[in-house]
């Protein structure tokens, strides 16, 4: 028998399939049974346009944790079974947004789903879906539109800072007062928590 030791950084940097395998092995070692993998039905997930994403942001921008979780869904996720879905681990979202636990992330996702329903005028429309293994799913086009919106927000912040470095924001959607060196561009890999 051979034993292997992995650091938490190595596990976090591993591909999603490897992380899921490690999680299942650890759960099995402690006698816990992992629920069977299930894929969400993509037909229940709507494709959020850029205009709808902006409308969702307008509704949630006053609640910073919700806005942070929203922009986390603009990251590059993992393709999970179906090529038209992006998958995000709730624990990764917890880590990136610095929320206390996955329950807080789920509460934020519920608010995002409600804001999306309001934006498109359809109470049955879902922005995202969850499975029992702790994953959140969005349509690939939705992920891309959230990313484009993030890029527009960052570009607008940079423009305001260049025009008036003393400008103070009043909302999460406004320009950041953080020094230029601390600002990060969102390329699908950097945390969105610094909104």
pLDDT computed for residue 7 by the predictor: 81
Q: Is the pLDDT of residue 33 over 50?
A: no
DSSP string, 17-54: HHHHHHHHHHHHHTTPPPPPP----GGGBPPPPHHHHH
The answer to which of 38-52, 60-74, 124-138 has the lowest mean pLDDT is 38-52
Read off the pLDDT of each residue in 8-31 and give the average, rounded to a whole number: 69
Return d(Cα 56, Cα 149) in angstroms, integer: 11
Give burial (CB, 10 Å; 0-12/13-18/19+) of 106: middle
Read off the pLDDT of each residue in 162-174 and give the average, rounded to a whole number: 61
Return d(Cα 78, Cα 192) in angstroms, integer: 17
Read off the pLDDT of each residue in 44-58 and give the average, rounded to a whole number: 93
Sign, CA torsion 153/158/163/165? positive
Return d(Cα 114, Cα 122) in angstroms, integer: 10
In which band, very low, low, confident or very high, does the pLDDT at 160 lie, cut at 50, 70 and 90?
A: confident
Q: Which residues pair with 126 in a beta bridge?
A: 45
Q: Residues with Cβ < 8 Å from 15, sequence gap 6 or more?
A: 78
pLDDT computed for residue 92 by the predictor: 95
Q: Is the pLDDT of residue 87 over 90?
A: yes
Angle at 90 between CA 86 and CA 96, to 5 degrees: 95
pLDDT computed for residue 177 by the predictor: 37
> Do residues 130 and 136 lie in contact, with contact meaning Cβ atoms separated by under 8 Å?
yes
Q: Is the pLDDT of residue 24 over 80?
A: no
Higher pLDDT, 38 or 139: 139
Read off the pLDDT of each residue in 74-89 and give the average, rounded to a whole number: 83
> Do residues 136 and 75 lie in contact, with contact meaning Cβ atoms separated by under 8 Å?
no
The answer to which of 1-10, 29-38, 48-57, 141-150 has the lowest mean pLDDT is 29-38
Mean pLDDT of the chain: 79
Q: Is the pLDDT of residue 104 over 80?
A: yes
DSSP assignment letter at 182: G
In which band, very low, low, confident or very high, does the pLDDT at 84 lie, cut at 50, 70 and 90?
A: confident
pTM value > 0.85: no
pLDDT computed for residue 93 by the predictor: 96
């Amino acid at each position: 028998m051979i034993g292997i030791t992995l650091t938490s950084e190595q596990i976090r940097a591993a591909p999603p399939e490897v992380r899921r395998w490690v999680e299942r092995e650890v759960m099995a070692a402690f006698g816990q049974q992992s629920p069977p993998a299930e894929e969400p039905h993509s037909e229940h997930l709507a494709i959020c346009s850029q205009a709808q994403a902006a409308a969702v942001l307008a509704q949630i921008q006053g609640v910073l944790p919700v806005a942070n979780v929203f922009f986390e869904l603009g990251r590059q996720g993992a393709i999970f079974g179906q090529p038209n879905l992006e998958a995000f681990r709730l624990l990764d979202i917890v880590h990136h947004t610095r929320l206390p636990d996955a329950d807080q992330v789920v509460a934020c996702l519920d608010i995002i789903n409600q804001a999306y329903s309001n934006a498109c005028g359809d109470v049955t429309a879902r922005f995202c879906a969850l499975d029992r293994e702790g994953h959140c799913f969005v349509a690939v086009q939705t992920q891309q539109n959230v990313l484009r919106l993030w890029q527009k927000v960052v570009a607008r912040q940079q423009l305001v800072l260049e025009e008036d470095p003393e400008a103070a924001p009043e909302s999460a959607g406004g320009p950041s007062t953080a020094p230029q060196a601390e600002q990060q561009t969102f390329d699908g890999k950097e945390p969105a928590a610094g909104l």
